[in-house]
Each structure stands twice: as structure tokens, then as C-alpha cells.
Copies of this chain bind each other. A is one copy, B any other.
Amino acid sequence: MKRFNDLTDFSREEIADLIALAKRLDEHPEPRALEGKILSLLFLSPSLRTLASFQAAMGRLGGDSFVISPSMSIHGIETRPGIVMDGAAAEHIREAVPVIASYGDAIGIRAFAERRSLDEDLADREFENMAQLVDVPLINMESAIQHPCQNLADWKTMDDLGVPSAGGRFVLSWAYHPRALPLAVPSSTVQMAAMRGMDVVVLNPEGFDLPDSIIAKAKTAAESSGGSVTTTRDRKEAMEGAHVLYAKSWSSTAHYGDRIADEALREDLVDWCVDDPWFENAQDNCRFMHCLPVRRGVVVADRVLDGPRSVVLPEARNRMVAQMAVLHRLLSG
């Protein structure tokens, strides 16, 4: 394993192995497994869970890490190719990325979507441009279209809770948020749930359909796992018998990159705040999942988030545990 970028690069068996390794490392610590090993962490956008959980994961395995983020330490990093750098930026990613990578035995990179062109973001252009500059094992810590560490943590969280895979109904629902957010989590989450063999339902208002290529990719994954993928605008229909409601806000795809049009569209959608009535016809113990950070009273009502359905805290802890497995696989032996 040289790259952890897209869950669909792996077979179900490989994922099961990673999750088993994660469980084992959580229960039986290996505090010297990665001694003397270094993880480079490059954050081109802000982070809390990822920042904390990768440092903690590496430390638990006896390794160490360092963090580079523009806000902390750099004069600004230029990403455009072929440019004459006579502006503010003093360094180009063509030097910064390979240099940072060369100090570590592996590198994690976070780079959000530019949200100028849907095609470019679906191709994960910015992340791939940086990935090409790296020759050590690489972890995608969230890019325009991928968030494999979140996906692996979510899969493990459902395993931990006994959420059924075959026959389990997984609803990914759009939720209101005042800002246009990236597609990485919804797009990669449908792949994860489809690969797990679940019946995946994507629920969202008009103008917020996930890109066709994302749905098609998930359908392919579902075919080989025995699951299914459908889309709907009908909340009642979506939630019928649901085992999991996974809430997330994302940008309008109809007006991708057009902030004004996106805002005009979403301003009527403030009722897309997950609340108790959503669960009326779901399974009794239907779980509420969210990758965090989450806006209380906006994306989800306090009573859901603080209630027994919510598994957002074990889900967040599983980020660290899942990443320990990924790091162990990439770096040990």
C-alpha cells in the first residue's frame, strides 16, 4: 500500500483487514511500531479533527509528525503552474510539497476544492497536482472529492454498532448550512456505503443533486457488493426503514462555483435541519451520523445531536483509530 486516497481503490477484504487492524491497535497498543518514523502533515485548509487525530495516531504508534500550514509558517504558497512569482507568494508547491514530503516517511495532504469548475474538482485536480510531486506513501486528508479517512472511520463506526451491511439502509441527506461546502464527504460517503453493501439513498433538494459520475461510480460499487444506490427528493420515502441517517451539507451542483446563485437557492431550504420527525418511519434505533464540525440548530437540532441516535462522537474518535491502521499499513515492516 503506497497511497490512501480513494476507498474504492481497495477491495472489501482489504478494507475489512484495515478495520480489523484498527480494532487490534486500539485494544492492544503498539507504542513502538513506528519508532523513528515521521509523518509530514500539510494542511492547505483549516482542520481540527484531522489535525489532532493524525498527530495522536502517529504518537500512539511511537512515531512523530510535524504540521505545516500556510497560516502557521509560510509566506504563501503558489499553486499555478508556469507563473512569474512577483506577487506575495514566496514559494511554489513544486518545491514546497516534495521538500515537506522528503522529511517524512509518509505525507498527509489536505487541500479543499477550489470550487471554480466542477469537472476540475471531480478530477481532484489540485490534490492530484500535489500527489504527483510526492514519492513517499501519501494519505489524502480530504481533497475536493475524497475523504477516505472519514470513510474508513464511518465504515468502522457502523461495524462497531452492528449496523447491518446487507439489507442495511443508509440515507445520505443534504442539510441546510449558510455556506456552500465541498462535495468531498457526500461524494466519498456514498461510495463507502455502497461498497459496504448497503441500500444507499441520497436525499437532497433540487439543485443539489450529486454529480452523475459520483452516483454511477457508487452504483458500480453497489453491484459487486450486493447493495443499491437510489436518489430522491422525498424525505418520507428516503427514511422508510432507514438504519442510518448521514447528514451533510454541500454546494449546489446546478450552480457550482456561483456563490450568489447557490445562496439564492439555499435560502429557502432552512427547514432541511434534521430533527426528530425525520425519523418517524425509520428503524427504531436509526443512527444519526455526521463527520463534524456541525452547526447546531442549523444542520441538526440539539435534541437529535444530544440524543441516543447520535453517534458523532464515536465516529470522530474512529478517525484516529482508522488512521492508526492506515499509518501502520503504510509505514511498518
Contacts of A32 in B (CB 8 A): 35-36
A2 within 8 A of B: no
Query: Who on chain B is nearest to A43 by CB?
Result: B73
Bitwise, A183-213 to B at CB < 8 A (1) or not (0) is 0000000000000000000000000000000
Contacts of A305 in B (CB 8 A): 94-95
A92 to B301, CA, bound (A): 13
CB atoms of B98 and A313 under 8 A apart? yes
Number of interface residues of A (CB under 8 A): 69
A46 to B96, CA, bound (A): 14
CB atoms of A316 and B99 under 8 A apart? yes
B31, B63, B296: the one contacting A84 at CB < 8 Å is B296
Q: Report the minimal beta-carbon distance from A250 to chain B, rounded to whole angstroms.
A: 15
Contacts of A72 in B (CB 8 A): 51, 69, 71-72
CB atoms of A313 and B73 under 8 A apart? no
CB atoms of A52 and B316 under 8 A apart? no
Contacts of A16 in B (CB 8 A): none
B51, B69, B294: the one contacting A68 at CB < 8 Å is B51
A82 to B95, CA, bound (A): 43
Other than A35-B62, A47-B73, give 20 A-B pairs with Cβ distance below 8 A: A31-B36, A32-B35, A38-B56, A43-B73, A46-B74, A48-B73, A48-B91, A48-B96, A55-B64, A59-B66, A69-B72, A72-B72, A75-B293, A84-B297, A86-B178, A86-B297, A92-B296, A95-B316, A99-B316, A102-B313
The contact sample of 25 A-B pairs, CB cut-off 8 A, is: A32-B35, A36-B59, A46-B73, A46-B75, A48-B68, A48-B100, A49-B99, A52-B99, A52-B100, A55-B64, A56-B64, A56-B104, A59-B66, A72-B72, A75-B293, A78-B296, A84-B296, A85-B297, A92-B294, A92-B296, A95-B292, A95-B294, A102-B316, A102-B317, A103-B320
